[in-house]
Structure 1
Amino acid sequence: MTLNLMCPVCRESLTLQDKTWRCSNRHSYDQAKQGYVNLHVVQHKHSKSPGDTPEAVTARRRFLTAGFYQSLQQEIVAVLQQLNIQSAIDIGCGEGYYTQAMAEVIPDLIAVDIAKSAVQIAAKQDTQKQVVWVVGTGAILPVQDQSLQLCSSFFSPLPKVEMLRVLKSKGYLLVATPASLHLYAMREALFDQVKVHEPEKFISQLQPEFELIEQHLITDDLSLNQQQLKDLIAMTPYAWKAKADKRAVLEARDQFKIQAQFCLYLFGKVQ
């Protein structure tokens, strides 16, 4: 495995020595017992516990482990297999559901998330230590310039300037976003007014530096029991955006049928 980590303080390369990551300027970062490294330094933090709450992370882990978004996970792997990617970073990796599948086809894989609780779970689940797990921010990706072939971001921010910096000249970007009708029935139950998602806006935001190569629409009809419905709500921003009374009514349902709809985009870095 070729490692491309960058010191978040001085931007020099990091090397792993006796479970401590060190740079030439003697900045050091200990590797936690779960196997991750925290490169989210204090001067880059805007809150004490940034990112998803531990409750949201746990709910998402239960939901995804049940296999509900497996079709998207499989499509991600299928796209990667045709590209022969050797090095990549997964931005906003969460608890690692998609990252772990990527690791089966990408030998040099770094995963970063701002939520420490999510990275802890991801690293602990990675018993084969296939991925370099990092607590960090997409605003300053802890990776050296032009060192990777691919950036991925699934339902996470798209730090355009940083992605352009870390990608090689013939690099790729893989993005998953909610499609227009993603979880529409759930949003109808939680809010007085519902707008359809506009996934196409990501295409215009990324141009002209990234060129769209291909896109996929993945649709899944889900039948959820009460606990699975609660987990789905808890893992989304709707958990804190919705009115408490509407959420309580929805969570009282024993069964709930809903459609998940995703857009998966593959972009190429424009030369």
Structure 2
Amino acid sequence: MEWLNQLHTAAAHGMASEVAAILGKTDDVDAISDGRTALWRAVFARKHENADLLLAAGADPTRPMMSGWSPARLSLATDHPITTDEVLTPTEQAAIVERDRLVAALGRYPETGGFSIACVGGIDSDEAVRRLEAEVVAAEEVPDLTDWWDEPFGDDTEVAIGFTDVPGGCVVVQPWGRAASLPAVTRPLSTDTVVHALYDNPKSGSQGSVDRDGTTVDRDLVPGGWSAAGSTAEVFLAHLYAGRPVAYCCAFVALRPENAEAFTKPARWAILPDRIRWDL
């Protein structure tokens, strides 16, 4: 059914005029594709005009899908709610407040690509350094980091990463490469906790992974993307942080940075051991 793919794509990414044109060829406005309706996709993507058109065409806003989220209930997290008897839980309401705070705290970060991060829940940077067996660079030996691209650590630049404590855990970052997101880094960091890592690949975009208790449990993720599979909480998190990959990684492991400095001005730097160097 070519019209089905067209309708779902237009609902999430197209203009209202595109949705209107396709609706004229549609025999089932609530047809399911990948577990969701076109109305659900429009609400998830905050395409409010598209959602209004689909509702006018008879789309059902109360139909539960995607771990129980109906389009109407999901819309309660937007500034264009659909009238419904459903409600958000206090936890979900608090998550919206934290999303607004976190997005504001991170501001315009990131403004460039090519970086990697690991958001580590539940441990501080001292423990992170210990788990990685990294060698801390003395403060007076940290080079001028004004230009990320000038190989500031010389031959060790590829294995130099920054560490900063934030409420809820710590942030590990490499502004110029993928080292902070390597499995050899994220797996040991995740012992007895959880890590959400991200490499902003200049060629292919955001590449995410999740490690728990020393094991990679998910890879090839698109944090802050438009996918929404998973548990009830994961679907909601994907909706709240669509288009905000760094904030998403923080929220996933319950980090609460007060600003972007953990990512832009790490508190200290360390050099990873040779066993990790070989993974680059």
Q: TM-score range by the shorter chain?
A: under 0.3
Higher share of residues assigned strand = 1
TM-score, length basis structure 1: 0.23
Higher helix share: 2
TM-score by length of 2: 0.23
* Structure number with larger C-alpha Rg: 2
